[in-house]
Amino acid sequence: MALPQRICRRDADSTRGLAEKAEAGTISSGLNSPMTNRNRIGCVLLTFLVLTGTRSAAGPPERPNIIIVMPDDVGYGDYACLGNPIIHTPAADAFFKQSVRFTDFHVSPTCAPTRAALMTGRHEFKNGVTHTIYERERLTLKATTIAQVLKRAGYATGIFGKWHLGDEPDRWPDKRGFDEMFIHGGGGIGQTFAGSCGDAPGNTYFNPAILHNGTFEKTTGYCTDVFFRQALAWIDKKRKDRAPFFAYIPLNAAHAPLQVPDEYLKRYEGKVPENTAKFYGMIENLDHNFGTLLKKLKAWRIEANTLVIFLTDNGGTVGVNVYNAGMRGGKVTPYEGGTRVPSFWRWPAAFKGGVDCAALAAHIDIFPTLAEIAGAPLSPEAARQVEGRTLLPLLKDPHTAWPDRELVTHVGRWPRGQAADWKYKNCCIRNSRFALVNNSELYDLWSDPGETTNLIQSQIEIAAKLRAAYDRWWNEILPRLENENAIGPRINPFKALYWKQFGGGPDAALLKQMDPGLANPERTR
Ligand SMILES: [Ca+2]
């Protein structure tokens, strides 16, 4: 089982960590940690090597292609390689054996927040993202995205799937660093929410109309098959161009509604509740597509120098009642089960796979890691934006020194205008050992990974230190919540564009559902 192994790894890591801290004489916070000098030097060195083409047999590989595959609403416990006793995920399991696996990797507790943090290398609230709807899913236009950074460094950049950081045309990914854009709208195919957040009208997971570089295409097939097919065709073209590429493949599956091809349902029917069977079927379909992608990389002989990152976008959902890897909570909670996700990294030319890394890592680390790997220089502004750390030292040596840090989780989603009252609600600040939840619960994750025993009364100093760091963070983010009072348009932009292209329009019920004043009266207060 995964759980006892995890405790052992953390114990080993704690011993190592204490020795490292004693040696360094300091424990640093990850809340505002810029790139270290060592990493900056590494970045400059890699840039030099890339620009000059210098490469010895023992030197670093050429900068790799980069692929991120990120299923939606799938948790740590939803993979066979991570202990799930029922699900069939052979591609992820094989990939797991070839990868560096982060065992304490955290994302945000919901969809748009994780995407905002991944794209910018900093907490989603600093990007104005405090919800998944009501304009509060929109990524600030002031931020620099990792796609922009990679594009400037010469990468071809493509997104295939779920953007969920703003549906208005000026917020589309093609304005945020992606050359190629093949996306659905809102937070999921077929969704409609008041204001700007919603998909094309009438879409389901089968044969959806997808926005392709500004024009809708009526596709054929199941959504996950469609997104992978499009991504593979684009990758095939780019690899023939011999340009490095960044393919970002954030799938909408296995987010509800639980629509799945019948053939993927059969294995689970009767073994688990019906909804879980559908959910597992969606994951198995995704796994089949992931396997096809990996086979293609091999057939195209670009496997060795392609970095493939596989992670999910928040904690578990439908599957947590069957298996949750011993964690408490799931999506939309501040507990471990809300944010700790699979995170597998494979780059055969640069680092050895088949190993676990127990260091406390997060989605905000992806930005600086990719920038360093690509040898992409950051503007001073972008460097200041990034709160994460490069993971490259850990990828090369999973046991290397990794100073402790503090990471903040906040579920957000407060009612309009009530941010200030939500300071200690649905939140957590954690370091590698302790988690302070809702300012009233303290857990020792090494001895109690299931977060069952509240130590708030006995570990007063530890709680006070975490609380002080949290208070500083909260004061910093409050002035940055730029979308709190935004009022969206009366018609979802994706729907308006679809009707402009194909004809048609909303009926009275749909108009009411989209209207920010009628459908969501608290917005007008
Ligand atoms: Ca999600």
pLDDT by residue (tens digit) across 220-275? 999 999 999 999 999 999 999 988 999 999 999 999 999 999 999 999 999 999 99
pLDDT of res. 520:
54
Which residue segment(s) compose the domain that 59 sits in? 2-152+259-396
Which of 376, 396, 416 finishes a domain? 396
Question: What order of strands is seen across the sheet that includes strand 434-437?
Answer: 407-410, 427-430, 434-437, 441-444
Going from the Cα of 351 to the center of ligand 1, the distance in angstroms, rounded, reads 29
Going from the Cα of 268 to the center of ligand 1, the distance in angstroms, rounded, reads 22
What is d(CA 353, CA 81) in angstroms, rounded to the nearest whole number? 15
pLDDT by residue (tens digit) across 417-472? 999 999 999 999 999 999 999 999 999 999 999 999 999 999 999 999 999 999 99
Going from the Cα of 413 to the center of ligand 1, the distance in angstroms, rounded, reads 14
**Parallel, antiparallel, or unpaired for β 355-357 and 427-430?**
unpaired
Q: How far is CA 111 from CA 120, 168, 315, in A?
A: 15, 18, 10
- 342 falls within a domain: yes
- 281 falls within a domain: yes
| 357 & 430 share domain | no
- Identify any residues that bridge with 381 across adjacent strands, giving them in sequence order: none
Going from the Cα of 396 to the center of ligand 1, the distance in angstroms, rounded, reads 29
What is d(CA 197, CA 111) in angstroms, rounded to the nearest whole number? 13
What is d(CA 242, CA 495) in angstroms, rounded to the nearest whole number? 37
pLDDT of res. 6:
40
Going from the Cα of 164 to the center of ligand 1, the distance in angstroms, rounded, reads 10
Going from the Cα of 315 to the center of ligand 1, the distance in angstroms, rounded, reads 8
pLDDT of res. 243:
85
Residue among 94, 166, 112 at smallest CA distance from 135: 166
pLDDT by residue (tens digit) across 462-491? 999 999 999 999 999 999 999 999 999 999
What is d(CA 27, CA 434) in angstroms, rounded to the nearest whole number? 14
Number of domains in the chain: 2
- 204 falls within a domain: no
CATH of the domain at 90: 3.40.720.10
Q: Which of 34-38, 103-107, 394-398 has the lowest mean pLDDT?
A: 34-38
CATH of the domain at 440: 3.30.1120
- 205 falls within a domain: no
Going from the Cα of 337 to the center of ligand 1, the distance in angstroms, rounded, reads 13
Going from the Cα of 115 to the center of ligand 1, the distance in angstroms, rounded, reads 9
| 13 & 116 share domain | yes
Going from the Cα of 427 to the center of ligand 1, the distance in angstroms, rounded, reads 18
Going from the Cα of 310 to the center of ligand 1, the distance in angstroms, rounded, reads 14
Amino acid at 449: P
Percentage of residues in the chain with pLDDT exceeding 90? Answer: 86
pLDDT of res. 517:
85
Going from the Cα of 366 to the center of ligand 1, the distance in angstroms, rounded, reads 18
| Contacts of 383 by beta carbon, 8 Å cutoff, 6+ apart | 34, 35
Going from the Cα of 356 to the center of ligand 1, the distance in angstroms, rounded, reads 24
Residue among 449, 443, 491 at smallest CA distance from 466: 443
Is pLDDT of 48 > 60?
Answer: no
pTM summary value: 0.90
pLDDT of res. 60:
55
Average pLDDT over residues 318-332: 98
Is pLDDT of 308 > 60?
Answer: yes
Average pLDDT over residues 194-213: 98
DSSP for 407-456, written as a single string: EEEE---PPTT-GGGGTTSSEEEE-SSEEEETTTEEEETTT-TT--S--T
- 326 falls within a domain: yes
